[in-house]
Structure 1
Amino acid sequence: ELKNTSGLLYPPEAPELQIRKMADLCFLVQHYELAYSCYHTAKKDFLNDQAMLYAAGALEMAAVSAFLQPGAPRPYPAHYMETAIQTYRDICKNMVLAERCVLLSAEILKSQSKYSEAAALLIRLTSEDSDLRSALLLEQAAHCFINMKSPMVRKFAFHMILAGHRFSKAGQKKHALRCYCQAMQVYKGKGWSLAEDHINFTIGRQSFTLRQLDNAVSAFRHILINDSKQPPAQQGAFLREYLYVYKNVTQLSPDGPLPQLPLPYINSSATRVFFGHDRRPAEGEKQAATHVSLDQEYDSESSQQWKELEEQVVSVINKGIIPSSFQPTQFCLNRYSDNSRFPLAVIEESITVEVSFRNPLKVPLLLTDLSLLWKFQPKDFNAKHGGETKELGMCDDDMIGTEAITEFLINSEETKVARLKLFPHQTGELHILGVVYNLGTVQGAVTLDGIDPSIGLQTGKFVSNGLSVRGRQDLEIQGPRLNNTKEEKTSIKYGPDRRLDPIITEEMPLLEVFFINFPTGLLCGEIRKAYVEFVNVSKCPLTALKVVSKHPEFFTFGGNTAALTPLSPSASENCSAYKTVVTDPTSVHTALLSSASSVDFGVGTGVQPEVIHVPLPDAVLLPGASVQLPMWLRGPDEEGVHEINFLFYYETTKRHSKMCHRVLRHTAVICTSRSLHIRATVCRSNALEGEEGRGDNLLVFVDVENINTSETGVKEFHIVQVSSNSKHWKLQKSVNISEDKDTKLASRERAKLCFKAVRCKNSEGRLSHECENYTFADIVFGNEQIISSASPCADFFFQSLSSEFKRTHVQSHTHASQRDVKQSFDETVRLIQRCSEVDLNVVVLWKAYVVEDNKQLILEGQHHVALNTVGKEAFSFPQKQELPETVLLKFFRPENTPVPAKPTPEQLSNLIKTSLHYPESFNHSFHQKSLCLVPVTLLLSNCSQAVVDVMIDLRHKTTSPEALEVHGSFTWLGQTQYKLQLKGQEVYSLQLKACFVHTGVYNLGTPRVFAKLADQVTLFETSQQNSMPALIIINNI
């Protein structure tokens, strides 16, 4: 029986209960208006009697009756329900009735779309008394929030979390999991990482309890792979939970495929693959070739340079053609290299894969038994058939040897690379799939540099907490975005990246190179002798060894005439780098002649000068053999730091279908400091009576300046020898003979040398390209002659010559199209130009005395000056050209017909060389004879190879200021005009007479000489460049 709080109990015939029963009957027959009136009357009676339980029931039913009335004459009295709920809960202490009333009122409010009031009503009844009731109410309130006109999504998710928590406390695991999963849909991907972590952790635990292991693993995985903001202790707990769950999963199917692990992160695009073995380090004086290693940063510019060098040497080997199958050697493949083709690896040589791991957590990760996962398909490339595919080759060490890293610790939030190796023992196709490892954690605190000393540092082992799982991660590398065709540009397409799919080829030779006594600093032009050791560390013989460099003028192995002595570096410590001979004292300042063919030094053979053949004994290096060869170095002409790349090219003795050659790289860094600066000019000279080469003599002026700074410790330079090398000219003797045999130059001192040069006898009448023999003339200032036609002096000369030829060759090719126009005119111009051309090269050899650590060293070196044009100054290294001032931009239409080249006035003036021969002073008695006649010889030399018409005009009167200073005038007697024809290189003497009427000093240099080629019309006037006045003194006796 229902009792109110005061213990009042109504008898069955009580009028209050009768009215209540009448109201119930009206409600049952759906007479809701009468029912409402009766409930309202009963409510008043019950309240008057303080029967609160009866009053609350009457209020509840009155509100329902009002709601159910058709047409709704009155609004729904929500306050009735609230009063009833309050009465049940607070006065009557009957939570079951209050709960019923709340659910009923909430449904009424929801039907009226009053979701906010319904949610507030449901939340108000939650309490700590009953977890299950509170969970139900919170879940219903959450649904109210999501069903509002403007859904309150975050409130829905929040109250779902609260409901799930209360379900969990009530032991309703499935309901709790359902609530958390629904809330996760809202929080996922919003960046609320702490909320996500909490939800995922709870989902993982509930799923594990319900034995939904896959869901549990997925939930824990999400906690670990997101950038968590949890403290380290919490992250460690998450990781342990994950490992524990994962271990249970793997125990269910121990023979199944390895699962994918989420930690650590792998940056697949940063994966690098290196083909090559670990090279021996430098020993003592030996310096190993730098080659390529994983420790070097990738540089696209240098990579392109190495590719060009390799193409250059392959082109030379294949007679100027690069084969279509040519694949540039790439030792290290990364995200920047060209990975579109399958890389080639050699059997029995290691393949190193560098994998970049990142630990996103604040706790360290310990990877054990870390190794590569691969697939291999054996193939014999000679037999042209494939083999079976081995999916997982971890046990097949007879095919591919796999190196495992026992322990690999990654500290908190650290990025660390692991280098894993494979050793192929069979030819075929290898596919590297990923990595396999055991994932675990470390006990205790770990410092950034490793593990705390208290935890097993002495044994070198990290102490694991015993919880680890074995799994894998795949290396999936996306190729470069394609952007060539229109279709590729308008869509997103990626090309292949095959760096993890090498082809294992047959065995190849493997070269190691060591440099002995290789300098790091040189003077400009300094010659130093070093040694190179070549070692074949493979089981194959090695042949066709070549070296290619962009700077062939920096080094030489000696020409065919070079003697390989001394053979060892120790025997060469005190020897000169040059081949020297003691000279006879009588031969000082006169030329000592020798000759050499440019073919012996690799010039003029058609082979590019950058590709140098390495003179191996018998041209083969056997397996395990080593050979030491001398190598002469010459400091570059410009000061500063120079990076010089060497590419060593070699082949196997038997041809392979896949790999034809191999290369080895070395980068030498040389710092050069200033030494000498040499400038030279050449001008035509007159031969003395009875002297060799009457028709063609040259004066060579050499200006040597010591521009070295005292910082390098150089005390002084000695010019020990000046040599010339040319096909047509040779130095004859030194003109300015001083008492000192040696020319010494202290800092900033300058020496001026003058030499006489004559034409070689064997070059007369020959064209330059028909003669490959060079005449070497050595003028010695000391006691020893350096044989300039032998190695290394001649090597560096010919290399400088070939680089000079290469520059002019490129320039001449640019004008090739213009040379076809007006061929005859061009030939004329060429003949005139050839008159002023001189093919004479001067080599200045020097010694420098250096004080270093209280010891005096003698350094040797040489500088080259190429004299090409008469009267034009040449330098030992190219002068820096000043940038022209900016001019206004002009637009014009280019002419289709190129303008033919015209000879310059300087070139025209050198067509005919004139000289006057006369007595310096002439005595005459004007008292006896008023006219003084002086015989004068005009010597005309044809400097060209062609027939030249010459006209001499004696009527010319000088009006120049220099001539006016000379007192008086004179007259030429006889013909005033002469017309002559001179053959090529002909010297003609013309006898003239000058007539004087007074004593004094006269200038005889008044004749004007005109010349033209025999088959041309235009006359060119010739003049003596920088000629002195031809002064004669007339004395009276």
Structure 2
Amino acid sequence: MLKARYQYKEAATVYFRVCTEEPLHSAVMLEQASYCYLLSKPPMLHKYGFHLVLSGDRYKKCDQIKHAIRTYRSAMSVYKGTTWSHIKDHVHFHIGQWYALLGLYDLAANHVLEVLACSHQSKTMQELFLRDFLQIVQKTGKTFEVSKLQLPEINISSLRVIFEDHRTYASSAAASVKEKIWVSLEEEMIPNLSTARTNWLELQSKLIPKKYKESNVCVAGEAVKVDIEFKNPLQIPLLLSSVSLICELSENSDEMQSDANSLLSGLQNDGESTKLNHRDVNFENSLLSVSDVGFSLRGGETTVVQLTVTPRVEGILQIVGVKWKLSGFVVGFHKFETNPAKMIRKRVQKAKHPHSDNLKFVVVKSVPKLEGVIHPLPKRAYVGDLRNLVLELRNKSEFAVKNLKMKISHPRFLNIGKRESLNAEFPACLEKTNSDHSGVPANPTDVSHSMFLFPEDTIIQGETPLLWPLWFRAAVPGNISLCITIYYEMGDISSTMRYRTLRMHYNLQVLPSLDVSFQISPCPSRLQEFLVRMDVVNKTSSESFQVHQLSSVGHQWEISLLQPVDAIFPSQSLMAHQALSCFFMLKNHGKPSTSEDEISYHFRLQGTDGDTSTVDFILISRPLKNDNNPVGSDPPHLFSHHACHCSTASTSSISWLVDGPRTIYHDFSVPFCEINLSMTLFNSSDVVASVHINTLDSSTSDNLNDATPVQPATSSDNQEGWHDLSLVTDIKVTSDVLKVRTSKSTPVESVSPFIWSGSSSTRVQLEPMSRSEIPLQVSVFSPGTYDLSNYVLHWNLLLSNDEGNRDSRSSGKCQGYPYYLTVLQSD
């Protein structure tokens, strides 16, 4: 009656109340109540679905499974597209169970499949769903294939494809380096397209059919790698096996000819093509091979798996998707359709292409490929660590490669040696000898440009590898990304590619070790002699070093210690955090005699150029053997610490030295004594210098026996030179204009004890980096000790107009430094 009056809501209430404990009766009444809720205005869909579920449960209790499935399937229309995940899981799971009871395992598996990726459920429920699903699949008695199986989840956006055309990679780390870094490194190595008419890219454009112009290029016999991210959304572990790529290879005899001339006459796109899918042919006989891996995923774990496909013949390769086997029973597969993949090392394209185009490759004829490794290159080192490494290059192809070139991103860390120094422990140039040096850069001209040309007769072919020595030195602390690229050309002139490059990459961590610094002061009494202070600090936390040798770059320098070695290094080593200082003399012999190889090697390591006004020091040390670093645990190696551009120049461009006797005996029955001296001038600048010397006669007695010592006049802002401080404090300066020494007032009529008897004014021009000797003469009238510093030296650099804007001082005036002469009465 209520339904006839369209009172469906009230009718539903009545149906619900008349339910009894008898299951079948209750199931019918609940089903009728659900229909009333559906017909009510507005429809009450939630109650409609809820009462259908209650009805289905009653049908199941009285073994009316088909009716139970019918009511549950009707309820699914309500929950489809909603966020009511738990009720949807309940409905799908029970429908799957009931279909299994009826023996309809395919339908049962399809419904249980919907609840597998139930990350919102508890761990117990997840185990229940997966176990029942696998049991149902087993009962089917056949391989169950599922498109887009939700276990595990695949992150298509992270898809990463790595392939090699003319650019090859020694490791996955090298493939991860940004392409612009490789391009800048290879800029001088790759032939210019405008001059290289036979460049493989131009030839390849003729070999590839027009409809495949935007496809990537790979080489037959070389793997294309795909990195795919798998994620387990559940709390329980998953076991995956037979994970591989789904690929197709089209071998087209009309389009893919190796003869370029026949292709130029006309390419036809209507030739017969045979598609080969690796799932449909025997693995050993197929024209492509794919990798097959297995792994397990813990609850919530995400991992990246690299899969490969290797085409064996020329053609068109299409990567369709990925497949895997879950728990050994269920085969899942996922096709790559819409989202773009991240392509590594592909040519720059004018526009973005859909995913299917990015995963399409033109397979060209097999060409030689170099494989390279540097051993034993450390992953961690201390600053100054110097080792001999070996570059090993192999070519497994029957065709040779030639015209090899190599370039290194950080030439201060890797230096290319000569082939004969393959077994040397350290560069011979670090030991100063008069013989020719070995173990240093093979071609200084090439090294200066950071590109090395292998000898013209270098050919790599077959099983014999090429071994070449490299000198490794950890130049500066930090995390270093070391990139090496090797260019080579094909010996087979019929090869599609004329050249290829091998890219190698290594990450290196360099830690601080010894910090070495030098302070240089010119010696006031000796030309070209310097006092040097060396400060060494061990900045490591646990390492100790034995100081082995200190040397300078260039045989024109001579180092002599001021203290015995035992006094400088009492323990013969530098412990962690220890510091020390020592002094030594440095003398310049003038003309350098160092070989070009030694200088080139040092400048290569430091990235510097030679400078005649500076000196470079090399401190050689060895790691101290201890319990943590026993003898023989590592190959022997040195630490070389370089201090470059230590300036030996003073603030003045002109230096001088007065030389002559220090003590004279004279019979003063003769009125005076004439003494000959000499002044040596040195021009340390790179331009001509004009020097003017004025000698000034003393108007007072400078006899030290009368306790009237002399003192250099106070220097003006434009004066240079060394000035000794007297121990006597009774000093009086009366004139700052003439810059002459004066003492206590004396009578005007007193006679000067000595005079400059030579020329009172002398001018001379000095060529760049040259010296000149000027004769001087002084006449002494009485015994005593005299300071012959009463002269003034004016200098001026003769600069051109272009050089006049330089910052360095171009002129100056210097007061003479003390020179003490003692004249005694002879018997």
TM-score (norm. length: structure 2): 0.69
Does the 8 A contact of 2:249 with 2:288 survive in 1? no
Structure 1 SS opposite 2:52: helix
Structure 1 SS opposite 2:76: helix
Given the alignment of the two structures, is residue 554 of structure 1 paired with residue 413 of structure 2, yes or no? Answer: yes
Q: Match of 1:393, as an amino acid?
A: N
Given the alignment of the two structures, is residue 349 of structure 1 paired with residue 238 of structure 2, yes or no? Answer: no
Instruction: Give the whole-Å Cα distance in 1 for the aligned partners of 2:214 and 2:127.
Output: 45
Structure 2 SS opposite 1:429: strand
1:547-586 paired onto structure 2 within 5 Å: 547-559=406-418, 564=420, 578=428
1:504 to 354, 358, 363: 363
Q: Relative to structure 1, is the Cα distance of residues 865 and 593 closer, same or farther in structure 2, using a 3 angstrom cutoff?
A: farther
Query: What residue number does 2:608 align with?
Result: 804
Given the alignment of the two structures, is residue 292 of structure 1 paired with residue 162 of structure 2, yes or no? Answer: no
Instruction: Give the whole-Å Cα distance in 2 for the aligned partners of 1:322 and 1:118.
Output: 92
Query: What residue number does 1:237 align with?
Result: 132
Does the 8 A contact of 1:372 with 1:434 survive in 2? yes
Structure 1 SS opposite 2:149: coil
Instruction: Give the whole-Å Cα distance in 1 for the aligned partners of 2:624 and 2:440.
Output: 37
Instruction: Give the whole-Å Cα distance in 2 for the aligned partners of 1:512 and 1:685.
Output: 61
Query: What residue number does 1:373 align with?
Result: 246
Q: Match of 2:397, as an amino acid?
A: S
Query: What residue number does 1:120 align with?
Result: 13
Given the alignment of the two structures, is residue 625 of structure 1 paired with residue 464 of structure 2, yes or no? Answer: yes
Structure 1 SS opposite 2:428: coil
Does the 8 A contact of 1:352 with 1:421 survive in 2? yes
Instruction: Give the whole-Å Cα distance in 1 for the aligned partners of 2:658 and 2:274.
Output: 96
Does the 8 A contact of 1:364 with 1:410 survive in 2? yes
Does the 8 A contact of 2:52 with 2:72 survive in 1? yes
User: Does 224-233 or 423-432 show the bigger shift?
Assistant: 224-233
Larger radius of gyration: 1
Query: What residue number does 1:479 align with?
Result: 340
Structure 2 SS opposite 1:434: strand
Q: Kindly indicate which of the two structures has a greater share of residues assigned to helix.
A: 1
Does the 8 A contact of 1:948 with 1:1012 survive in 2? yes
Given the alignment of the two structures, is residue 107 of structure 1 paired with residue 4 of structure 2, yes or no? Answer: yes
2:812 to 1012, 1015, 1022: 1022
Query: What residue number does 2:393 align with?
Result: 534
Structure 2 SS opposite 1:796: helix
Does the 8 A contact of 2:137 with 2:330 survive in 1? no
Instruction: Give the whole-Å Cα distance in 1 for the aligned partners of 2:410 and 2:341.
Output: 35
Does the 8 A contact of 2:200 with 2:497 survive in 1? no
Does the 8 A contact of 1:967 with 1:1000 survive in 2? no
Write the deviation string for residues 133-189 of structure 1: whole angstroms up to 9, x where unpaired: x55654453354456667644222212333455677899988766644443233234
Q: Match of 1:292, as an amino acid?
A: S
2:315 to 428, 433, 447: 428
2:451 to 611, 620, 636: 611
Q: CA RMSD in A?
A: 5.6
User: Does 742-751 or 350-359 show the bigger shift?
Assistant: 742-751
2:648 to 870, 879, 893: 870
Query: What residue number does 1:757 align with?
Result: 588
User: Does 115-124 or 967-976 show the bigger shift?
Assistant: 967-976
Instruction: State the Cα distance separating 1:431 from its structure 2 match.
Output: 1.1
Does the 8 A contact of 1:539 with 1:624 survive in 2? no
Instruction: State the Cα distance separating 1:424 from its structure 2 match.
Output: 1.2
1:369-408 paired onto structure 2 within 5 Å: 371-378=244-251, 379-380=256-257, 383=260, 384=263, 388-394=272-278, 395=280, 400-403=287-290, 405=292
Instruction: State the Cα distance separating 1:674 from its structure 2 match.
Output: 3.7
Instruction: State the Cα distance separating 1:1032 from its structure 2 match.
Output: 3.6
Instruction: State the Cα distance separating 1:381 from its structure 2 match.
Output: 5.9
Given the alignment of the two structures, is residue 660 of structure 1 paired with residue 450 of structure 2, yes or no? Answer: no
Q: Relative to structure 1, is the Cα distance of residues 341 and 624 closer, same or farther in structure 2, using a 3 angstrom cutoff?
A: farther
2:147 to 251, 254, 260: 260
Instruction: Give the whole-Å Cα distance in 2 for the aligned partners of 1:941 and 1:129.
Output: 124
Given the alignment of the two structures, is residue 192 of structure 1 paired with residue 84 of structure 2, yes or no? Answer: yes
Does the 8 A contact of 2:674 with 2:779 survive in 1? yes
Given the alignment of the two structures, is residue 731 of structure 1 paired with residue 556 of structure 2, yes or no? Answer: yes
Instruction: Give the whole-Å Cα distance in 2 for the aligned partners of 1:1009 and 1:755.
Output: 28
Write the deviation string for residues 673-728 of structure 1: whole angstroms up to 9, x where unpaired: 745836263748888xxxxxxxxx62355555665599988684343x74543xxx
1:617-1016 paired onto structure 2 within 5 Å: 618-633=457-472, 635-638=473-476, 644-654=482-492, 657=496, 660-667=499-506, 669=508, 674=513, 677=516, 679=518, 681=520, 683=522, 698-704=528-534, 707=537, 716-719=546-549, 722=551, 724-725=553-554, 731=556, 746-747=572-573, 751-760=582-591, 775-777=592-594, 793=598, 796-800=601-605, 803-805=607-609, 838-839=612-613, 841-842=615-616, 844=618, 846=620, 848=622, 851=625, 862-867=640-645, 869-871=647-649, 906=651, 909-910=652-653, 912-921=654-663, 937-944=678-685, 946-953=687-694, 958-959=713-714, 962=725, 964=731, 968=743, 985=770, 987=772, 989=774, 991=776, 999-1013=784-798
Q: Match of 2:501, as an amino acid?
A: R
The gaps in structure 2 that reach 5 residues or longer are 202-212, 344-351, 575-579, 698-711, 716-722, 733-740, 745-751
Does the 8 A contact of 1:534 with 1:628 survive in 2? yes
Query: What residue number does 2:820 align with?
Result: 1031
Structure 1 SS opposite 2:116: helix
Query: What residue number does 1:66 align with?
Result: none
Instruction: Give the whole-Å Cα distance in 1 for the aligned partners of 2:467 and 2:225.
Output: 31
Q: Match of 2:608, as an amino acid?
A: E
Q: Match of 1:796, as an amino acid?
A: Y
Higher relative contact order (CA 8 A, sep 6+): 2
Instruction: State the Cα distance separating 1:196 from its structure 2 match.
Output: 0.9
Instruction: State the Cα distance separating 1:474 from its structure 2 match.
Output: 1.2
Count, aligned residues: 725
Does the 8 A contact of 2:170 with 2:372 survive in 1? no
Instruction: State the Cα distance separating 1:426 from its structure 2 match.
Output: 0.8
Instruction: Give the whole-Å Cα distance in 1 for the aligned partners of 2:516 and 2:657.
Output: 34
Q: Match of 1:1022, as an amino acid?
A: G
Instruction: Give the whole-Å Cα distance in 1 for the aligned partners of 2:429 and 2:795.
Output: 50
2:50 to 158, 164, 178: 158
Structure 1 SS opposite 2:14: helix
1:135-150 paired onto structure 2 within 5 Å: 137-146=29-38
Does the 8 A contact of 1:478 with 1:497 survive in 2? no
Instruction: Give the whole-Å Cα distance in 2 for the aligned partners of 1:592 and 1:360.
Output: 69
Instruction: State the Cα distance separating 1:433 from its structure 2 match.
Output: 0.6
Write the deviation string for residues 531-575 of structure 1: whole angstroms up to 9, x where unpaired: 44433233332333444333323344434xx7x26x6x5xx6xx7
Write the deviation string for residues 170-226 of structure 1: whole angstroms up to 9, x where unpaired: 999887666444432332344433321232345567889999999877644433355
Does the 8 A contact of 1:524 with 1:639 survive in 2? yes
Instruction: State the Cα distance separating 1:993 from its structure 2 match.
Output: 5.1
Q: Relative to structure 1, is the Cα distance of residues 736 and 130 closer, same or farther in structure 2, using a 3 angstrom cutoff?
A: closer
Q: Match of 1:348, as an amino acid?
A: G
1:544 to 382, 403, 428: 403
Instruction: State the Cα distance separating 1:430 from its structure 2 match.
Output: 1.1
Instruction: Give the whole-Å Cα distance in 2 for the aligned partners of 1:400 and 1:1020.
Output: 79
Instruction: Give the whole-Å Cα distance in 2 for the aligned partners of 1:707 and 1:220.
Output: 70
Given the alignment of the two structures, is residue 269 of structure 1 paired with residue 157 of structure 2, yes or no? Answer: yes
Report sequence identity in percent.
21
Q: Relative to structure 1, is the Cα distance of residues 732 and 184 closer, same or farther in structure 2, using a 3 angstrom cutoff?
A: closer
Instruction: State the Cα distance separating 1:1007 from its structure 2 match.
Output: 0.9
Q: Relative to structure 1, is the Cα distance of residues 743 and 201 closer, same or farther in structure 2, using a 3 angstrom cutoff?
A: closer
1:312 to 175, 179, 185: 185
Instruction: Give the whole-Å Cα distance in 2 for the aligned partners of 1:411 and 1:858.
Output: 45
Instruction: Give the whole-Å Cα distance in 2 for the aligned partners of 1:234 and 1:861.
Output: 64
Q: Relative to structure 1, is the Cα distance of residues 309 and 117 closer, same or farther in structure 2, using a 3 angstrom cutoff?
A: closer
Query: What residue number does 1:585 align with?
Result: none
Instruction: State the Cα distance separating 1:374 from its structure 2 match.
Output: 1.4
Instruction: Give the whole-Å Cα distance in 1 for the aligned partners of 2:142 and 2:509.
Output: 59
Does the 8 A contact of 2:413 with 2:605 survive in 1? no
